[in-house]
Chain A
Amino acid sequence: MITADASPRARTHPHLVPLWRGLVVYRVVALVAAVVNIVRFDDEWARPVLGIVVVAAMAVWTAISSRRYLRSGDPATAVADLLLTALATASTLLVDTPDRLAAGGPVITTVWSAGPVLALAIAFGWRGGLSGALVTLAVLFGVRRALDADLLFDAQLLLVAGLAVGLAADTMRRSVEQLRAAAAREAATAERERLARDIHDGVLQVLALVRRRGDELARHGVDAPAVELARLAGEQEVALRRLITSAPVPASDGTVDLSSRLAGLLPTHASLAVPAHAVPLPATVVDELAAVLREAVTNAAEHAPDAGLWVLVEADDDAVTVSVRDDGPGIPDGRLEQAAAEGHLGVAGSMRGRVRDLGGTLSLHTGPGEGTEWEIVVPRKEA
């Protein structure tokens, strides 16, 4: 029932320590109440010696469990606590007579029996608190055999305490997780900015210079390998520049900047024209647009491997437009229709399907010798 949810996460929440401390204080105070209950009224119990033994055992368990709660907030201890406490409460049947119990006499564990309810609430949240309260009530009912005002009063207190403390623990856990995620995001952004600055000041400058030198060598008729190396350096400059500007960290509202995402997809020789401001879109929309662009880029690489490739991103309040153009040989008239007639879905069909799912439109401008130009327009629902 409860053990299924016994996750190690409870251990990893040091901020729950104040709650555990509160619980330990409560248990000690409640233990004093139990001791007073058995010592002060020892003549009224049927077997006072057995009662003292039970209370002594409760004291030992309080010491053991308190240590464990304070050290690690161990959920297994909370479950053991529930079982042992139930046993102690049930032992009232041996210590006292059924008549006295039915007449409203106290159980030997008194308010100490609420301890595991609180422990389960802290360890497992409101579900733990509720389960603990129900089990404890069932045991109390089993001992007293009377559905009287006392039991209803106990029920109210146990349920309220279990749920309230459980919800508090849940909230603390959640808010700390959010804080941690926000801190991690901030650290990642700061680190990337620092790296970007360093790369910008050093590596990028040198790579660009190497590329420039290569151009000069080529101009003076120097051999090809050095020129080739310089060209590669130039490509890496572009790749690195894209890498440090792309922002893989999604915003806290679940949107992703379209421009940064697309920058990561393009081959280094491609040109990407974007607005200076970010273009935030829901992550799912960005994923689909990225997939469409990837298809267009792959298609261009297949049919026009040596052609230039240009991508333009435009955004206003109503729509986002992504244009992809290559200056390759173009798609001959009728080729797409022919492919469709032969039953090939083809790149156009697949792209069109994705764009349609986003509620947008895809248009194609092409012809022999004119290159290929896709234009994807997707409406911008209020994000």
Chain B
Amino acid sequence: MVRVMVVDDHPIWREGVARDLTERDIEIVATAPDGAAAVRIARAVRPDVVLMDLQLPELSGAEATAAIREALPDTRVLVLSASTEHGHVLEAVRAGASGYLVKSAGMEELVDAIDRTARGQAVFSPGLAGLVLGEYRRLESEGPDEPRLTPRETEVLRLVAKGLTARAIATRLTLSHRTVENHVQNSLRKLQLTNRVELTRYAIERGLDADE
């Protein structure tokens, strides 16, 4: 059974999601109302998946994500936010979140996303694909040392952003389903490598180092 922790500062939402997931045979091992508590509790309970809101008191969702990923490399973070701030979503993904779902997503979608996240896959919505594409375009104009997408990765991300499923993309590009997943995964990983170190250092400076 997948062990999940729910982080959200909105109590009605937090308890509501926890209850719904419990009904679906997902084990809720903890909940947390702010970023700092999330990092502390995650270290103690070691969940498989953290459902992370973005606009949190104490430590933002992105900062908490960086700290959790640093302390617990096997714990994956799935951003679940009504956040309207594209920048925050991108920040969380660069901090190590492996996917992003808006809170208006249906329950089936959420359960499926949690399963996939627990298995180590990326949860890529069209919106997130657009943000990641945009981020690479921005990095491209920053200089030659920044990470790049391969033409194939760009092609795959564009199709994700246009709403094609992994299966449809595989058919259209005559690739295997697995290869499509890998392209998506790699596009995220390259962004995260450049950013993880910075954010972790920031979280440590704010008194959340691993020895606490």
Which residues in A have some Cβ–Cβ distance to B below 8 Å?
A: 196, 200-201, 204-209, 211-213, 215-216, 219, 234, 237-238, 241, 244-245, 271-277, 308, 310, 312-317, 323, 325, 327, 373
User: Across the interface, do B104 and A238 meet the contact criterion of CB distance under 8 Å?
Assistant: yes
CB within 8 A of A212: which of B17, B127, B133? B17
CB within 8 A of A206: which of B12, B55, B90, B130? B12
For residue B138, CB closer than 8 A to chain A, the reply is yes
For residue B174, CB closer than 8 A to chain A, the reply is no
CB-defined contacts of B82 to chain A, threshold 8 Å: 200, 204-205, 208, 237, 241
CB-defined contacts of B16 to chain A, threshold 8 Å: 209, 212-213
User: Across the interface, do A276 and B161 meet the contact criterion of CB distance under 8 Å?
Assistant: no
User: Across the interface, do B163 and A310 meet the contact criterion of CB distance under 8 Å?
Assistant: yes
Tell me how many residue pairs across A and B have CB atoms closer than 8 Å. Answer: 117
For residue B202, CB closer than 8 A to chain A, the reply is no
Closest A residue by C-beta to B135: A276
Task: From A213, A274, A312, name the one whose CB has the most chain B CB atoms within 10 angstroms.
Answer: A312
Bound Cα distance from A310 to B108, whole angstroms: 21
CB-defined contacts of B135 to chain A, threshold 8 Å: 275-276
Bound Cα distance from A241 to B141, whole angstroms: 30
User: Across the interface, do B130 and A313 meet the contact criterion of CB distance under 8 Å?
Assistant: yes
User: Across the interface, do B161 and A310 meet the contact criterion of CB distance under 8 Å?
Assistant: yes
User: Across the interface, do A323 and B134 meet the contact criterion of CB distance under 8 Å?
Assistant: no
User: Across the interface, do A215 and B17 meet the contact criterion of CB distance under 8 Å?
Assistant: no
Q: Closest CB of chain B to A372's CB: distance in Å?
A: 11
CB-defined contacts of A327 to chain B, threshold 8 Å: 163
For residue B89, CB closer than 8 A to chain A, the reply is yes
User: Across the interface, do B108 and A316 meet the contact criterion of CB distance under 8 Å?
Assistant: no
Q: Closest CB of chain A to B6's CB: distance in Å?
A: 13
Which residues in B have some Cβ–Cβ distance to A below 8 Å?
A: 10, 12-13, 16-17, 20, 23, 55, 82-84, 86-87, 89-90, 102-104, 106-108, 125-131, 133-135, 137-138, 140-141, 158, 161-163
Q: Closest CB of chain B to A225's CB: distance in Å?
A: 18
User: Across the interface, do B84 and A276 meet the contact criterion of CB distance under 8 Å?
Assistant: no
User: Across the interface, do B134 and A276 meet the contact criterion of CB distance under 8 Å?
Assistant: yes
Bound Cα distance from A316 to B138, whole angstroms: 7
User: Across the interface, do A273 and B137 meet the contact criterion of CB distance under 8 Å?
Assistant: no
CB within 8 A of B90: which of A211, A271, A276, A325? A276
User: Across the interface, do A314 and B133 meet the contact criterion of CB distance under 8 Å?
Assistant: yes
Bound Cα distance from A317 to B139, whole angstroms: 12
CB-defined contacts of B130 to chain A, threshold 8 Å: 272-275, 312-314
CB-defined contacts of A212 to chain B, threshold 8 Å: 16-17, 20, 106-107
CB-defined contacts of B89 to chain A, threshold 8 Å: 276
Apart from A207-B104, A272-B127, A274-B131, list 11 A-B contacts with CB within 8 A: A205-B10, A209-B13, A219-B107, A234-B104, A245-B84, A273-B162, A274-B130, A275-B86, A275-B133, A276-B135, A312-B130
Bound Cα distance from A313 to B127, whole angstroms: 10
User: Across the interface, do A325 and B163 meet the contact criterion of CB distance under 8 Å?
Assistant: yes
Bound Cα distance from A234 to B106, whole angstroms: 9
User: Across the interface, do A275 and B104 meet the contact criterion of CB distance under 8 Å?
Assistant: no
Closest B residue by C-beta to A204: B82
CB within 8 A of A276: which of B23, B104, B131, B163? B131
A-B contact pairs, 9 of them (CB 8 A): A200-B83, A201-B10, A205-B103, A209-B16, A211-B104, A241-B82, A273-B127, A276-B90, A276-B134
User: Across the interface, do A323 and B158 meet the contact criterion of CB distance under 8 Å?
Assistant: yes
CB within 8 A of A312: which of B55, B90, B126? B126
CB-defined contacts of B10 to chain A, threshold 8 Å: 201, 205
User: Across the interface, do B126 and A310 meet the contact criterion of CB distance under 8 Å?
Assistant: yes
CB-defined contacts of A237 to chain B, threshold 8 Å: 82, 103-104
Task: From B20, B82, B135, name the one whose CB has the most chain A CB atoms within 10 angstroms.
Answer: B82
Q: Closest CB of chain B to A258's CB: distance in Å?
A: 12
CB within 8 A of A208: which of B104, B125, B129, B141? B104
Task: From B89, B107, B128, B138, name the one whose CB has the most chain A CB atoms within 10 angstroms.
Answer: B107
Bound Cα distance from A180 to B126, whole angstroms: 41
Q: Closest CB of chain A to B178's CB: distance in Å?
A: 23
CB-defined contacts of B141 to chain A, threshold 8 Å: 316-317
User: Across the interface, do A271 and B126 meet the contact criterion of CB distance under 8 Å?
Assistant: yes
Q: Closest CB of chain B to A262's CB: distance in Å?
A: 12
Bound Cα distance from A275 to B103, whole angstroms: 20
Task: From B127, B134, B141, name the one whose CB has the most chain A CB atoms within 10 angstroms.
Answer: B134
Closest B residue by C-beta to A244: B84
